[in-house]
A and B are shown apart, each in its own frame.
Chain A
């Protein structure tokens, strides 16, 4: 009986352990003993070549895997958007984007620092260039390592260190938040190892930050994939427009009380290193405590006691009666967060004071012109004007405060409004250059602020989209079921709904949203409605 012929195995390219046509089959190999259970030996050069190919493959795969994991990490990380005008990371990215050795001053510290000191205001008034590297609850460890990082890129003449974190212990979350935007370098590695030692944490979680943020996949948004682009022109400063500081300033004593407590060893260690870095780099270190109702006499005494033991460090506590009066601070009008942070007016006063300090005495920083700061001046003006609009309580003058060259106004109204509201609404629409309609409508006024051809789209309905190039577009639509979501696409492609979260409810009034499409900031959102009891038209700010 004829034996069936065995089919010759076809070579399979690209397959693990696959054989090339000219390579002998493994089955043709000689008997193998206990030692050496692998495939039959090839000639040494062929074997070496195969191993090198495999090794190169592993390295390539490892690179692809690592870059994919790091990219995933980046997406999963919290972007720590403090406000539309400031995310912690974008503020730090703006620092890296600043011309090397171009800054005179650096501001460091907690949220008190980034609310209180405006680099642009400082430049506009004194010709001093600066950047604010303050972050939320920035720990002293983070401050110290940011000082080390900053002096590698800049040669500041002074560092203004806000002191709110002095009484605090080391904290992982806020330290990571502060250090996250630092570029990878030996400094960052040292900072991470320092934090790991301080809190007995696993250092691998800094590189593979998903160990911390692995739960965020449930809350990912478009921002997480596209990144946030908060206003780099403000250079780390966050303007707060609202004034709700309250009354009741209790000045602290400049005199150190009896037997004050010491700063913790951890804080002293980090501060000592900051002093050392400043000394080695010929930088003046200025410690400043800004007015805040949560700063205590004990905290002042601890800080003052440390400073009294250090040479070459100045300490200014603006909560003490003398300095508080000197800067002309007024909680009621200059603070927000119930006296917790400075608003725009408070920041203006403190920036002005620090500018006076830095241009006088031992500091004597000379004014100079800087193209970058000159260019960013306009955005500060725009921001301040937006602040005025935000604060406006004048129903008649409100629309006049909107600068349509920089902003877009989106207006929407359901049908069936009270006549009084309709009248005010019509007037507002006319002031915006829109032709009022009687029924329910959605309208857009303004331009994309110079971004030619930029599309501003109401994505709920394709028919509602339109290209705005300085012109006005108005659409009539049925809003009887409530206001539609009004979503804009601008800048980095981020889509966002500008309507209130509960916008689908039947608002008995008109909603006006002022939006800066270039910086993607929702400037203000107002509701015109009739008072339930008096019928009078009122203007409400919608948060």
Chain B
């Protein structure tokens, strides 16, 4: 069951109805039933996958209680270490398999069944156990409530990676019916659908064409494909986040924010504070800080940064390419750190005032180029292809493709291309609005009923007519669902 299917929205409707029909104190049970049923349907009733999820949830549940009850520091540490090891072992094995290709280990690892969403829920459970260890939260004593926290369906496949302290109150407590929650949730879902079907999946048509046959395209074709992939990835990932948040908001549950306008960043460091926030903050809290953070000198800080980004790269995908992508971002951060003083010196002497629009633009351009090069590494079929595509892009200045209709031949046609450009422009203006005013979905949900309905209706019909979907098109695959 995909997040953009008719079945999913029917499922959500039934869930919301059941949720509000139950007495307030029992409403979390509706969430639990829906989550278990969703995962069961999602995995096609695969007992191994469901069993692994339940097993990992049970381990986290028991360990947290044990850690909380234990007095001895050493024992708590041992239990925590073993729990983290167990919770991350399956994920680590699957990530290690591509590096040991051809070995007996790879054969064994490849035969393991990896439950859907494991990349997300294993980090979620580790965070929970560590937070209990750090006494930031109290362990959940009700195993069913704990199971709901582990399996909550709007976020189990693609995040955001929740923290117990942030999610428990609204998820486990139960919410009264509130029209504003319904309206806000609906707005988030509609906006998510727009991002997915009007931006991400339309851009994907052109991106897939170029990245699918990189040897056929040179010059600006490659540049356009890289820019569009940057847009596609953002829109795709944000769409699933918005849909997840929207579904949860319908029943008053507030999921974590995952994005804070990352493409407005003036440095790569800032980008990572704004992109996939739930993962970045997880890596900071449970990898970077335990490694010593920036407290042990600059060299150690950069080493820690490198470790964090290599872990992030491995988390995002299997193999050397993603390791290289993580390493690239680590390198960016190190270079940024080392060149910060000389850059400030130059900016001061050419009269660029820190924080001014000009200063942001001067910093934004190289930041975006660096990030987009990173996305090229992320998306290209192989590392060799990265070099070939860069070479093909830089060796040909076929700027006429913007004027002679060749871009239209990348799969969308002239009208489709116009719709994509308009959709991206809409995304841009919404982003601009949100930077100064907050969430557009919240704004819509606060408008008069007639305005709200008209806006929702207009966006839904626009998607219905112009969206990229249909029987021959699999709109079900979110990019981050594959991690």
* 25 contacts across the A-B interface (CB closer than 8 A): A14-B448, A15-B448, A15-B449, A16-B179, A16-B182, A16-B449, A16-B452, A17-B183, A34-B172, A35-B24, A35-B25, A35-B174, A36-B24, A36-B173, A38-B175, A38-B176, A38-B177, A54-B179, A72-B461, A72-B465, A204-B7, A211-B470, A212-B471, A217-B415, A217-B465
Q: Contact: B453 with A61, CB < 8 Å?
A: yes
For residue B115, give the distance in angstroms from its CB to the closest CB of chain A.
26
Query: B101 in the interface, Cβ–Cβ < 8 Å?
Result: no
The closest CB in chain B to the CB of A57 belongs to B449
Q: A36-B173, A208-B6, A214-B470 given; name 12 further pairs at CB < 8 Å.
A: A15-B446, A16-B449, A34-B172, A35-B24, A39-B178, A51-B177, A64-B453, A65-B456, A72-B464, A214-B467, A215-B470, A217-B415
Q: Which residues in window 36-53 of B have CB below 8 A to A?
A: none
Q: Contact: A39 with B467, CB < 8 Å?
A: no
Known A212-B470, A215-B470; contact A68-B175, beta-carbon cutoff 8 A = no
Proximity string of chain B (456-481) to chain A, C-beta cutoff 8 Å, 1 when within and 0 when not:
11001100111101110000000000
CB neighbours (8 Å) of A189 from chain B are none
Proximity string of chain A (179-223) to chain B, C-beta cutoff 8 Å, 1 when within and 0 when not:
000000000000000000000011011001011101101100000
Q: Which residues in window 412-437 of B have CB below 8 A to A?
A: 413, 415-416
CB neighbours (8 Å) of A214 from chain B are 464-465, 467, 469-470
**Given the complex of chains A and B, what is the CA–CA distance between A208 and B460 in angstroms?**
14
Query: A76 in the interface, Cβ–Cβ < 8 Å?
Result: yes
CB neighbours (8 Å) of B348 from chain A are none
Q: Contact: A68 with B178, CB < 8 Å?
A: no
For residue A48, give the distance in angstroms from its CB to the closest CB of chain B.
11
Interface SS of chain B: helix, strand, loop or mixed?
helix
Known A208-B6, A211-B470, A211-B471; contact A14-B449, beta-carbon cutoff 8 A = yes
Q: Contact: A217 with B175, CB < 8 Å?
A: no
Name which of A15, A61, A208, A212 has the most chain B CB atoms within 10 A of its CB: A15
Place the interface of chain B in its size category: 35 or more
Query: B169 in the interface, Cβ–Cβ < 8 Å?
Result: yes
Q: Contact: A36 with B446, CB < 8 Å?
A: no
For residue A194, give the distance in angstroms from its CB to the closest CB of chain B.
18
CB neighbours (8 Å) of B252 from chain A are 37-38
For residue B467, give the distance in angstroms from its CB to the closest CB of chain A.
7
Known A16-B183, A64-B453, A72-B461; contact A205-B471, beta-carbon cutoff 8 A = yes
Query: B69 in the interface, Cβ–Cβ < 8 Å?
Result: no
Query: B166 in the interface, Cβ–Cβ < 8 Å?
Result: no
Q: Contact: A204 with B178, CB < 8 Å?
A: no
The closest CB in chain B to the CB of A39 belongs to B178
**Given the complex of chains A and B, what is the CA–CA distance between A194 and B384 in angstroms?**
51
**Given the complex of chains A and B, what is the CA–CA distance between A82 and B464 in angstroms?**
27
For residue A211, give the distance in angstroms from its CB to the closest CB of chain B.
5
Q: Contact: B471 with A16, CB < 8 Å?
A: no
Q: Contact: A64 with B457, CB < 8 Å?
A: yes
Query: B136 in the interface, Cβ–Cβ < 8 Å?
Result: no
CB neighbours (8 Å) of B450 from chain A are 14
Interface SS of chain A: helix, strand, loop or mixed?
helix
**Given the complex of chains A and B, what is the CA–CA distance between A74 and B352 in angstroms?**
58
CB neighbours (8 Å) of A61 from chain B are 453, 456
CB neighbours (8 Å) of A57 from chain B are 449
For residue A57, give the distance in angstroms from its CB to the closest CB of chain B.
7
Q: Which residues in window 441-457 of B have CB below 8 A to A?
A: 445-450, 452-453, 456-457
Query: B170 in the interface, Cβ–Cβ < 8 Å?
Result: yes
CB neighbours (8 Å) of B456 from chain A are 61, 65
**Given the complex of chains A and B, what is the CA–CA distance between A51 and B415 in angstroms?**
44
**Given the complex of chains A and B, what is the CA–CA distance between A543 and B447 in angstroms?**
56
* Residue in contact with A17 in the complex, picked from B178, B416, B470, CB distance below 8 Å: B178
Query: A542 in the interface, Cβ–Cβ < 8 Å?
Result: no
**Given the complex of chains A and B, what is the CA–CA distance between A64 and B457 in angstroms?**
9
Query: B180 in the interface, Cβ–Cβ < 8 Å?
Result: yes
CB neighbours (8 Å) of B181 from chain A are 38
**Given the complex of chains A and B, what is the CA–CA distance between A201 and B177 in angstroms?**
38
CB neighbours (8 Å) of A211 from chain B are 469-471
* Residue in contact with B169 in the complex, picked from A37, A38, A201, A212, CB distance below 8 Å: A37
For residue A237, give the distance in angstroms from its CB to the closest CB of chain B.
33
Q: Contact: A37 with B173, CB < 8 Å?
A: yes
For residue B479, give the distance in angstroms from its CB to the closest CB of chain A.
22
Q: Contact: B460 with A65, CB < 8 Å?
A: yes
**Given the complex of chains A and B, what is the CA–CA distance between A210 and B468 in angstroms?**
11
The closest CB in chain A to the CB of B467 belongs to A214
**Given the complex of chains A and B, what is the CA–CA distance between A428 and B87 in angstroms?**
91
**Given the complex of chains A and B, what is the CA–CA distance between A76 and B463 in angstroms?**
13
Query: A395 in the interface, Cβ–Cβ < 8 Å?
Result: no
**Given the complex of chains A and B, what is the CA–CA distance between A15 and B184 in angstroms?**
12
CB neighbours (8 Å) of A54 from chain B are 177, 179, 182
